[in-house]
């Protein structure tokens, strides 16, 4: 009978006779120990838990709600993380009028002038584009990428208020917090 072992001398895996004595090391995937509280979705790739809030609200209320719960508005740092967030919220089928009917949800990104920053303190890879260099806006990720002016977009920095009527945009949102290893049993 044969087995696979790691050879520390050549830094490769070798096929060896299983009857020989070898040292072994077993490891579980890092996310196997990560868990979330009830009602939260584990996203192991970013070691985070997400909770979808179906109530449409403005950005400031969503931000305050998440903070009271010890979390922050779910934030994507790049396109792959945007896709992960979409995979959690899209099954809820929360329709709204953002981006010409594509719909979307708040993300923890804000823009001031031409600078974009994340509410969780990290630096996003997204760039702010717009005509007004003094504009302030709140970030929203669309439920699916869309094409406008021949370019693909996956989200928008929109005014925190609707342009007409000057009412706040109301969108669904997700709170995000760190996955907890202490919740795991039998480790």
Structure confidence at residue 183 as a pLDDT band (50, 70, 90):
low
**C-alpha torsion angle, residues 10, 15, 19, 24 (rounded to 10):** 60
| Share of residues in the chain with pLDDT > 70 (%) | 71
Residue 139: the pLDDT is 86
Torsions phi, psi for 101 (to 5 deg): 100, -5
Q: What is the pLDDT of residues 169-180, one digit of tens each?
A: 899 999 999 888
What is the pTM (predicted TM-score) of this model? 0.73
Does residue 8 have a pLDDT over 90? no
Q: What is the pLDDT of residues 125-154, one digit of tens each?
A: 766 666 666 777 888 999 998 888 888 888
The neighbouring-strand residues paired with 106 are 140
Does residue 53 have a pLDDT over 90? yes
Q: What is the pLDDT of residues 14-39, one digit of tens each?
A: 666 656 665 555 555 554 578 888 99
Domains of the chain: 41-183 (3.10.100.10)
The CA angle 143-145-147, to the nearest 5 degrees, is 135
Where is pLDDT greater, at 7 or 145? 145
């Amino acid at each position: 009978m044969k087995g696979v072992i790691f050879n520390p001398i050549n830094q490769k895996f070798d096929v060896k006779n299983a009857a020989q004595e070898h040292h072994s090391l077993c490891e579980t995937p890092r996310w196997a120990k990560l868990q979330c509280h009830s009602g939260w979705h584990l996203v192991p790739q970013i070691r985070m838990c997400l909770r979808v809030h179906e109530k449409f609200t403005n950005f400031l209320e969503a931000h305050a709600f998440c903070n009271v719960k010890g979390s922050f508005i779910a934030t994507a740092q790049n396109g792959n993380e945007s896709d992960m967030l979409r995979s959690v919220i899209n099954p809820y089928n929360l329709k709204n009028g953002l981006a010409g009917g594509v719909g979307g949800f708040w993300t923890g990104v804000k823009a001031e002038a031409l600078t974009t920053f994340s509410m969780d303190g990290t630096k996003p890879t997204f760039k702010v584009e717009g005509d007004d260099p003094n504009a302030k806006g709140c970030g929203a990720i669309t439920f699916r990428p869309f094409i406008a002016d021949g370019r693909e977009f996956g989200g928008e920095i929109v005014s925190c208020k609707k342009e007409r009527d000057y009412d706040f945009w109301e969108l669904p949102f997700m709170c995000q917090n760190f996955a907890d290893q202490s919740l795991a049993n039998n480790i």
